Structures are given as C-alpha cells and as structure tokens.
Chains A and B, each alone.
Chain A
Amino acid sequence: MTQTTDPYAGSRETTEGRVYTVTGGDWDSIHAEDPLASERIVVNMGPQHPSTHGVLRLVLELEGETITEARTVIGYLHTGIEKNTEYRTWTQGTTFVTRMDYLSPIFNETGYCLAVEKLLGVEVPDRATTIRVLLMELNRISSHLVWLATTGMELGSTTMMIYGFREREHVLDLFEEITGLRMNMAFVRPGGLANDLPVEAEQKIREFIPYMRGKIDDYERLLTGQPVWKARTKNVGFLDVTGCLALGITGPVLRSAGLPWDLRKTMPYCGYENYEFDVVTETTGDVWGRYLVRVNEMRESLKIVEQALDRLAPGPVMVTDKKIAWPAQLALGADGMGNSLEHVRQIMGQSMEALIHHFKLVTEGFRVPAGQVYTAVESPRGELGFHVVSDGGTRPYRVHVREPSFVNLQAFPAMVEGAPIADAIASGASLDPVMGGVDR
C-alpha cells in the first residue's frame, strides 16, 4: 500500500485502520481565514456546557452576538431501551422504561403499563390507580423542581438551584418511603403496583403538602418580581400555538402559548376526570410564561395529591387475574432484603401449585394477546406516548416511546435563530429536555 502524504497531517497504519495525527505549527495553512476578522463564527455549545444537560450539542452560527443558524445534535447516549425490552418479559419492561426519562420515572412506568393493560384488556383496581395518580403528581412536582433549579442556575440564580434540589430531596424521600427507591423504582407494574403503600406514607405525604405550598411561595417571592429574572425570560424563546402544533410540541411549552391542552383533562386516563384541578395557561408564549405555568402546575399537583389521599380506600393494588399477578407478595425481611419468612413458609409448605405458578410467571412471564395500542400520559414535558406491539408472546414485540423531550427539542432552532446567544440558554432550558428520554 502506498503511503500518501497529507500536507496537513501525518498518518500511520494501525490495526484499527489509518490514524491521522495533526501536527503543530501548520495551523495557518489549514485555516487561512482569520476567525477574528470574519463576521461569521460557528460555535459548538456543549456537550460540555453545563446548560446542555448531558450529551446535547448545540451548533450555533453567530454573527456578532446574534444566532443566525442553530442546529441541535442530540448526542449518543445509547441506552437502547426500546430494543432491550424486546428481549425481556412484559413485567421486566417496566424496569427498563423507568430509566428513560430519569426525572419522571413514574410517568414512564404508568404510560407503559397502561399500554400493556390495554393490550391485555384488564381493569386495574381503584386503589392502584389512585396511588399511581398520587405518585405521578408527586413526580411532576419533583421534575418541575429540577427544571426550576437548573434553569435558575443557568440564568444566574444559584439560590434557586439549591432551593429546588433541596425540596426535590423531600419528594425523593417520599418515593423511597413508598417504593423503596428514589429513582427508577419499577413500582408500577402491568396490572397494578408492585406493593401497597406503607402505613406511614400517608401521614408523611400529608405533612409534605403544606410544607411544599410554602416553598412554592418562596420561589415566587425570589424570582417573580426579580428584574434580572424578568429581563432574561420575558420575550425570550417565543413560540406561538401555530408553531407549537406544527412542531408537535405539547406540555408546558404549548400551555405557555395559551392552548389549554392537557391530556389529564382532554383525554383523561387513570380517572383524572374525577379530580378537581385547573389547567394552567399563560398567553405570553415565552420563557417567562413557561416559568409561571410550571410553578402553578406544582400547586395544582399538590391539590391532586391531596384529593388522591382522600380517595384512597382499602383494597387490592393488583388485578386478581392469577395469570398476570404474581402470587407471592414481596415483603422486606429482618435483614432488609428478600421475602417474608411467613410467606416463604406458606408458599413452600402449603401451596406447591402457587410456587410453580409464581416460578412460571417470573421466569417466562405472561402472554399478551397480539395487537397494537397507543396510550399517552401527560408527563411534565408533554405527551408521553407508548406505541406497544404484541405478537402474542411473553415479550413485547416492539415498544416505541413518543418522548416529549425528543419532539420538543426540534423547536430549538425556531426559538433562537435571530436571538442573542445569551437567550439560547434560557430558550433551551425552557424546553426542559432530558437527554435520557431523547435517545431511548
């Protein structure tokens, strides 16, 4: 093989292929144009930039301080969740989807489980549905808190960041109390829930509600009247209803433009039609509007949590169909792990059939009749949809997630082209993208 000489870079052959080494001292010949004299500069913002949320890369073409063109590169997170679920049982699918949008795991779980339940044609017990609503609304608060915290930090308010993450800890503590885990709980299962609420949980949630109400007022006192916050958010990242619909944007961004489209009200699921709450809208269509929508949505969520607690009636949290529900109920032992000794004794000593059945359900899973469904829930970022296909087997044939972050990020160029570069931060943050959801 002949070695060609490259005027800019030396090269050598390795087992991995040809490797180029750019050597020093010849930069003038590579880049003859002086970037300082030229009006046009291309800036790669991210993925290392703190306000690009992980792997997001924003390619901005600048003229002076104005963005003339913006392109988003969503990066390579490669969780492979959609593909992986095709090789696991329907129940194990929950443990995968909960890891997608790690700020709103309960929404992922519930959306997926609603799809599987629709495929199965089963009705979930009331108590399970109420607990799902309760957890989802707590999760909406924690997700909006992270948005408020990170956006606050990106726009210069580190106080807001500390406040936001501090209150999120309280929500995560509640999750830990209820599900055993702070994130990625896999608590919602096809057919119901993994477990019932522990005894102390209700009291702790009731204590949390007034505490959180006071804290939301604090955030408003800190930010709403603040001149810097207003200057950085008002008339920034404008997107009207037409733009939102064309780009498929839902959630707080759409509601900030004035359309009261909230799946909880417009296409109710999980019995949301029985709860008293308002769909928060603003008409400004900018970052300021999105801030107000999210803050007020937290208040509405607290209202729903309160009502859900009042509605909680004793009952089962899993369907009674023994072909779906695991006969054994997981309970913590004295060592903090495993199943209760009484249960093991009962199932091993008295109920061999149940043991076999449990074993079969856990190892091979249950069958779901062939067909396809699409279900959607209103996640903190908008419509979170699950298109689930079954071929009649014990594994999902295909799970496709309509992730609001993925769809919403498309709007970034529409929001920032023509705006100063400082507004790119506020606009991008106002979309509330979670990169784990973007690249499933």
Chain B
Amino acid sequence: MGAGRGRGPRRAVPDREDRRAVQGRDAQVSIESPEGTEGEESRARKGMFGVSGTGDTSGFGGLVRQVADPHSTPRPYGGYFDEVVDLLGEEVARADLGFEDAVYRVVVDRGELTLYVRPERIADVALLLRDSDGLRFELLSSVSGVDYLDAPFGADDDEKAKRLHVVYQLTSMTFRRRIRLEVAVSIEDPRVPSVTSVYPTADWQEREVWDMFGVLFEGHPALTRILMPDDWDGHPQRKDYPLGGVPVEYKGAEIPPPDTRRAYR
C-alpha cells in the first residue's frame, strides 16, 4: 500500500555508489592524505576536463591538480571581521559559554566571514550577535540548507558525517556588515535549536530547510512542511533524493534525464 500514490520519490532511490559507477564518476575525486598540516585536507582532480574513464579525449588525462577546500583562516582576518570575532568572543565569555565550545572554526573567503557554530549553541550565539552593542546584527537575511554529500570537507570522519549544513546570513543595519553562521549536523541526528525566538523571520525559512533537507529545528513553534504537501515522504533537496525526469526524444536523438547525463567536475 502507498506505492504509486504520487507521494515521495516515484523511483526507488538508487544506491549512491551504484549511481556513481554507472556514470563512471567513481574515480573522479580522490581524497589525498593531508601533507603534515593539522587536520586540513585537499582534494586532487585528474585530467583537464574533469571527466574520468572513457570520456576524456583531450590528452590531458594525466594531469593532477589540487583543489583547495575551505579551512580555518589564521588571524588577522581583515576588515571588520577581527572586531566582530573579538566582540563575539567577549560576549561569549561573559555568557559563560566558552568560545571554542560555541564557534569551532572561522573562515574568511572571498571577503566574507563564516563562523562555524556548534549546533546546540546557535540560538545563544544568534542572541549575542543581535543584542550586543558592538555587533547589532538586527536582521536575519536568510536561512538555507546545504547537503554536503558529494563535497566532503572537514578535519575528521565525524565532521564529514555531518553533511547537512544550515547557513544563516546575518546583516547589521547599524554597521552595514554581513556575516554568516553555519552549523553542521548528521543525517542520523539532524537537530538544531530554532532561532525563531531571536529572529521571528526564521519561522518560514526554517520550515523550508526542514522541508527540503530534513533538519529538525527544536523549539520551532510549528515545524511543518511549507513547500511540499504535509504527507510527503523525503526531503527533495538532499543530494541523494532523485531528480526524476524521463528521457526525451528530439529529432531522433534521445536526451537522457538531467541527473543521468555526464557530469564534468
């Protein structure tokens, strides 16, 4: 019962490894061991055009390139980032939280500051960021989820298992600054405290992240689906949720559905 009622994935979710083998992508990313740096890793990519197996006719198949992943940024961060992190550190100490227990990584990339926050502390940190005199991040611009299934990064297996990320974009209208908070949780235990008590605007956005990624926001006033019907199975924007689609014939040629086409990386 229940199958074929138009709810949830219409096709059986294929095993991830099977799908990669079919697409010939299983050898595309090889994780190299870290070269003496503390817990940092880099990925290597082979070939000029990123296609492995039989697809690459470019003659550049032997090329190996290193691909950088975001790591902790050493101080100074530049711009207002040092001030924000310092002030947050003071506020965290005043609230008896312990900075390392709350923020475990600071990344500055492309002129944007990302603070990786432990999930259980996100609401506390958001409250400090909103109310402190020198911080005043009054506006929560955006909440979004990201499923890092194909792009593993992080120091250890524990962090790699935490593939569901929730990303908060905060704006300080007083100081005209933006920062980003990020929390990571695993599929098995996808619980994050809700920030709706701090920013009521997170209400719908957290519902959307729950709907699309299956992150449970504890303390949310009404965590129900918002984009999908209430009785839908699965969370459509997870990377292992099938896209669906059928092959299309056009002028005699058959175009496969998008998720089974050759992917270049």
Contact = CB atoms under 8 A, between A and B. Distances in A.
Interface stretch (B77-85, B88-96, B138-146, B186-194): B138-146
Contacts of A325: none
A371 B150 contact: no
B204 A371 contact: no
A17 B147 CA distance: 34
B146 A398 contact: yes
Contact of A118 (B110, B180, B199, B258): B110
A248 B141 contact: yes
A409 B1 CA distance: 38
B49 A246 contact: no
Interface string B205-247: 1001000000000000000001111000000110000010000
Interface string B112-143: 10100000000000000000000000111110
Contacts of B114: 372
Interface string A411-439: 00000000000000000000000000001
B264 A394 contact: yes
A370 B69 contact: yes
A369 B69 CA distance: 10
Nearest to B111: A118
A373 B110 contact: yes
B229 to A, nearest CB: 7
Q: How large is the interface on A (under 10, 10 to 19, 20 to 34, 35 or more residues)?
A: 35 or more
Contact of A439 (B146, B227, B265): B227
A217 interface: no
A389 interface: yes
A365 B141 CA distance: 31
A391 B141 contact: no
A397 B151 contact: yes
Interface stretch (A202-210, A219-227, A280-288, A400-408): A400-408
B109 interface: yes
A393 interface: yes
Contacts of A410: 200-201, 203-204
B206 to A, nearest CB: 11
B5 interface: yes
A398 to B, nearest CB: 5
Contacts of A266: 173, 176
16 contacts: A74-B227, A83-B243, A87-B259, A246-B199, A248-B140, A259-B173, A266-B173, A371-B110, A372-B70, A374-B112, A385-B169, A387-B169, A394-B50, A402-B144, A406-B204, A439-B227
Interface of A: 15-17, 74, 76, 78, 80, 82-84, 87-88, 118-119, 121, 245-250, 259, 261, 266-267, 360, 364-365, 367, 369-374, 376, 383, 385, 387, 389, 391-395, 397-398, 400, 402, 406-407, 409-410, 439
What 8 pairs between A and B have smallest CB-CB spacing? A248-B201, A400-B144, A402-B142, A391-B151, A87-B258, A393-B265, A364-B264, A394-B264
Given A245-B139, A400-B167, 18 more contacts: A74-B227, A76-B227, A76-B228, A84-B243, A245-B173, A246-B201, A247-B200, A250-B139, A266-B176, A267-B178, A373-B110, A374-B112, A374-B142, A387-B167, A391-B265, A402-B169, A406-B205, A410-B200
